[in-house]
Structure 1
């Protein structure tokens, strides 16, 4: 025979600890996930920011150089420059001076158009001179033309030339008889590159050509540049991959690539990933601290719950076990005025009341209450059932099957509730649903002439245990006495509130049949419901509630602000019997 292992029962405080831990552990993991997601998000934001800055810088530089190049090309075809080149030696002195001055002004205009320009000049072979913003007008040979002529004659013909840390744009026309040259400020480029990478220590940016034969940079690490150069073929094969991670030793670098088309060069920048996200490690430390604090909180909470709940509850349970043996000679004296002190005092009061009830009329009251409910159940009028079936018959004749289905379902639910045997108390939400079934039946019966306004009941009172059939008779009274023979219809308002352990149910109508005399007579009957011989409907409900919960509870009527009857069912759970759990 297989021996089964019994799972030990857990105490309340142990269950509370388990629930508390079950609640705090998901919160912890959510925080862990948020921390990981946050780090990933911030890393991505850093990367996007770096790429955005590099893209903005390259676009700005591209625009600047494009503007400068357009100016240079316009100078190559300048009419004054061409005239001076072709007619040099045939012009009189005054006209020649005017042309030279206009050429100088044009060069100065280009020079002042950009901070990236260091010098702007032009060479005219027939004129035998160079004109530049830096050196003015000089006869050949001179040092400036020697540099420009050497670059232009010894290199492959291109737009950009780099020599000895200097960067030039050179354009020629008329078989090289006219050469317009611009010198870019390498220091200015280095300064702006420095601003691009900011104050990060392990970072750098440089501008280079396709074969890395030279590069312009304010700060860089040669080993990283060589590593980038080794991977340049892979990078160039996928031009859309303008940002990627480069592993170098035990470090990771974020590499960005942007092509500067007007220069024919490429902009590379790199930043150490650890330097970008180093501050995020602080969050990992705080996550560890939070983990330790969470463990401490669970431990402290466990001991606190045991001390504050388990031990007093254990004493109270021991008293109840003694009471189960029919021993009423037991009292629990509270040690202090805390919540359990209130329970202890309530326990003592309960023992006293129990003794009195057994001696006096407890059993009589219980029997009377039960008989009152049975009597109310027996008062179900047959014609209500007959009317329901007749309505079903008429709707079937009219082929209104959807309403037939609704009415049949509501009738079934209604009669199941009122005729079944069982406990005298039911959860309030069940009682309320039964009343709403009755309302729906009556609305169909009255052809929807009666408009009922009833909202959802508060969550706090859904599980309250209340006597059965306390709401439906109140609503039935409204239908029968306010709208029974009324053709124009009417309105019923049902509201439910729960506060300070008291349940308030209010049923109001706008009928015009209630006279002051009838209202006063009904108020008098309800005030003396315990001695009134009438045992039907609203009087029955009032008597049963007062038997269960005492005099302050019951049914109270007044004139509604809508003109008809206002009936209030009030149950104070903290006054008498009943359960509010």
Structure 2
């Protein structure tokens, strides 16, 4: 099972910044969306505008050519033209001249009807001449007829005939005995197309057929026209109004085209997108500026929140952390009446009251420790003293002077340590030696029936300052409850360990008088020692240790692995009340 991912802890000002950023991001995204939609709308409008212009010019050109074509079809059926064709050679000169004159006038009328016409002419096989607005009446062979004659080499014959840069509409009747031809002005067409794209630099317009075999264009690039042809060839349908975007040499072009049915040609127009949407780049610049301004606003807001909220809170938290180390010499009185001034002043008031409370409590604890130590000293069992003197008397009677000397020396050292009231704390080595003096006295009393196995104390804990009279009452309790009135022998094991700022003194015996109920009862009283009215030796020791070193320290009892009682004195020095191990 995967452990849940723990998110890093955030400060208040970081949360405020995240909320502010979360609120400003939708505003930024709405502006971004509006900008993108606006650009898309404008681009679409540009595309529609180009397509509309192409359609307009195409329709205008289509109308003009349609009108010209109608005039051409009317001419080919003109009565004067037909009469001249059928009766040529049989008419007298005057009548023939009149017919030719009226045909010329009709051709001139057509010529003047449209600016897209460069030349209007007819060929009459029976007349043997061409009549045109440009060359007049010309006998064969002539240049106009040579161009027209090439038209008959095509099959099928196109309605629009292109030859060497010249564009013709050719219609014939009566088995080609009558040919009406109209030459369109390529320059005029180019001028019209130039009006379509003349305002743009990188743009072009092309009027061409389906195979792109010829084109009429004021300006264009072959690469772009070739790309248009490739695209149209793939679509296989260029007869409907449409537009595309093509990319040529890393440049994008809008391409619009429209079919001119009367010409059988298609008008293509292309414009570089940058020329149309270049002005839109200003909006992108403003978007970037808005992004930078938004980031600046967030940074300024973050800095302001940090200065106005985070730093005062951090100072207040630092003061609380200092307070956790039991250092009450701290004050965060504000230099001016800022928003956090009330909290600062309240904190300082709390510190002052806490100092007073701790001072009162500390003095009470000191008084309690002194009173409990005095009480412990006053609890010297007179029977112990009487028994000691009686033992000296008995050993003197038995002339065991060496034991008497040892016993007297240990007894004197014992009472000297117990009755001395000048020190509340002593080095652990002295406390341990006093306990060993008591052990020796008791061993002599019990005629060495009791074996005491005591460890040498580690060097690391010899100089540790500990409360006086904490070990001897524990050992005394062991002799009293395990071996008093016991004729057979026994053993006591004393072990001392000191590591990680923790001193542990373990006293165990192999006596069989202590029951499990007694151990549980004693353990419960030690766990709640402050509320126990009976201040016996071990309860007194437990209270004094806990008052000085905290709840993790104290006296703890349990069943010994040797069968008797196990009592452990534990002092945790890093609590803050004693010497550091």
Larger Rg: 2
TM superposition score normalised by structure 1: 0.50
TM superposition score normalised by structure 2: 0.50
